[in-house]
Structure 1
Amino acid sequence: MKYALFAVLGALSLSACAEAPKPAADAAKTPAAASAKPAEAKAAAGTPDARAIEAIRVLNSRVTVERVGAAPIPGFREAIVAGQVVYVSDDGRYLFLPGSGGALFDTTAKKNLSEVALAGMRKEALKAIPASERIVFAPANPKYTVSVFTDVECGYCRKLHSEIAEYNRQGIAIEYLAFPRAGIGSQDYNKMVSVWCAPDRRKALTDAKADHAVPNKNCKNSINQQYDVGQRVGLTGTPMILAADGTQLGGYVPPAALRETLDKLATDGSAKPAATGPVDAVPAAATAGGA
């Protein structure tokens, strides 16, 4: 999956994005030096350091490489970008972003090799959930079908569902999978069991997301299985949107933007980064408790 390095390095500097901009009056008082860009690292042409800098610029020409030098990994150079460490192979082809949510990039193909591997795994994992266990909202002749892990209490899940008609108008079929963020056995979980056991699941899901009462029901269901699959595919928040090939398209993505992303994915194999779109995070206690 192709996408610019700012999609990756942007995640390295989210703390900067979280800071509210200063009012104009305050900004005028800020010393000019405070807004100065850090110095760009220099390297002799044709050296591994120069190739590392060029590889980073290929993925995002706007970032500043503050430092580059020897790495603790043989065959790689270590660079500092946006206050974070990245590793680039001596030939400049591969860039490794360590840490949580890190990835390995092929800078020549502009491809996230980690996402390619994960997409294949997600696609296979989703096959375990039969079509009969999905709650589907689809137009007559959908252009695309996406799987969406959802939770009835999740604010962004509710926002997505409130626009379900527009997703369908964009030619997108939504296949919902259950992921009660509070964990197995929680009140949230019991509500989702009631939805999946309802005679009209689509109506029950819509009612639950609108805070309307859904009759308590219990039956043989696949909520536990769906929850397990969600954990397997790396879900950390809901909603989680997955394309048919397993590519993660983000959390909440507006209908028109999702259609644009799917068109691009179908045309040239590229899509927006996996982190795109807000989600409601899974509580740590639920993650620790597992299924």
Structure 2
Amino acid sequence: MEKSMISCFRRALLPVLVAASGLAQADEASVQKGINTFLGVDAVASVQKAGIGDLYEVVLKSGELIYTDEAIGFIIDGQIIDTKSRRNITQARLSELSRIDFASLPLERAIKQVKGDGSRIMATFEDPNCGYCKRLAKELQKVSNVTIYTFMIPILSADSNEKARNIWCADDKASTWNDWMLNNKQPVNASCDSDAIQQNAEFAHRLRINGTPTLFFADGNRVGGYLPASEIEKELTAVASRKD
């Protein structure tokens, strides 16, 4: 997993509030300029009023969320909790920001597996050499009535790219993928038009996917990291209940 952008500035940004005086006051555009100046890099993706006092919400290109005021007199790098509702405002906003339109996924570039009636859908982004992806593969064997779209993104090593190509070019992609992920059966050498693999890697980068596995559900909700079958079932059930 890549180091987060903001973590590179931990010594400059104290864990909660950090003075950053001397920068210009103004609107969202100048808040963006001021934060970029303070961090010393073009790091800001968007700025808007946070709806909490005079705070501005600043979304970094790394996907992280920080807060500041108009004068950039301080920076908050941490969680904001609503004490009345006990709701984690920061986490809720991050979940919203990471949500996608499932229909935007290029499913033709994924390995498709249909289990049972396939009525529920989900997508995963995985590296064939990812240990947690192999654990996920075992858990997915316990989930029924689901269609799984797996996007291979070889981000761990050159060998990952070779394995991804051999799996993609196999006559039966799904079986070859499962043979490797579940049984460590090496995919045989194969060649074909495998541009889909590089395109998936580029697409994952645009989605700010920095690690594997990353899971998406039909409502666009993202979960970064391994999930046991019980948690996958909860996510799939939650999506179905919202449709009813």
3-state secondary structure, aligned to 2:201: helix
Indicate yes or no: 2:64 matched with 1:102.
Answer: yes
Rg larger for: 1
Q: How is 1:20-31 mapped onto 2 (pairs within 5 angstroms)?
A: none
Indicate yes or no: 2:214 matched with 1:220.
Answer: no
Partner of 1:255: 229
Partner of 1:51: none
Tell me which amino acid in the other structure corresponds to 1:116: E
Distance 1:202 1:93, change over 3 A: farther
Partner of 2:139: 163
Partner of 2:154: 180
Distance 1:92 1:157, change over 3 A: same
Tell me which amino acid in the other structure corresponds to 2:65: A
Q: How is 1:1-291 mapped onto 2 (pairs within 5 angstroms)?
A: 91-92=52-53, 96=57, 100-103=62-65, 112-113=92-93, 115-120=95-100, 123=102, 125-126=104-105, 128-130=106-108, 133-168=109-144, 171-182=145-156, 186-209=158-181, 210-221=183-194, 222-267=196-241
Tell me which amino acid in the other structure corresponds to 1:139: K
What's the CA shift string for 1:77-112, capped at 9, x where partnerless?
Answer: xxxxxxxxxx98575497737665423799799584
Give the Cα separation in 1 of the matches to 2:220 and 2:165: 26
3-state secondary structure, aligned to 1:191: helix
Shift of 1:142: 3.4
Tell me which amino acid in the other structure corresponds to 2:177: L
Please, which runs of 5 or more residues in structure 2 have no aligned partner? Answer: 1-6, 8-15, 28-47, 68-79
Pairwise CA RMSD: 4.1
Give the Cα separation in 2 of the matches to 1:129 and 1:240: 15
Query: Does the 8 Å CA contact 1:178/1:192 hold for their aligned counterparts?
Result: yes
Shift of 1:251: 1.3
Identity of aligned residues (%): 22
Please, which runs of 5 or more residues in structure 1 have no aligned partner? Answer: 1-11, 13-65, 76-86, 270-291
Distance 1:139 1:211, change over 3 A: closer
What is the TM-score when the length of structure 2 is the normalising length?
A: 0.61
3-state secondary structure, aligned to 2:238: helix
Tell me which amino acid in the other structure corresponds to 1:242: F
Give the Cα separation in 2 of the matches to 1:187 and 1:70: 45
Shift of 1:263: 3.0
3-state secondary structure, aligned to 1:137: strand
Aligned residues: 190
Tell me which amino acid in the other structure corresponds to 2:64: G
Tell me which amino acid in the other structure corresponds to 1:102: E
3-state secondary structure, aligned to 1:236: coil
- Structure 1 stretches of 4+ with a deviation exceeding 6 A read 66-75, 104-109
Shift of 1:68: 10
Shift of 1:231: 1.3
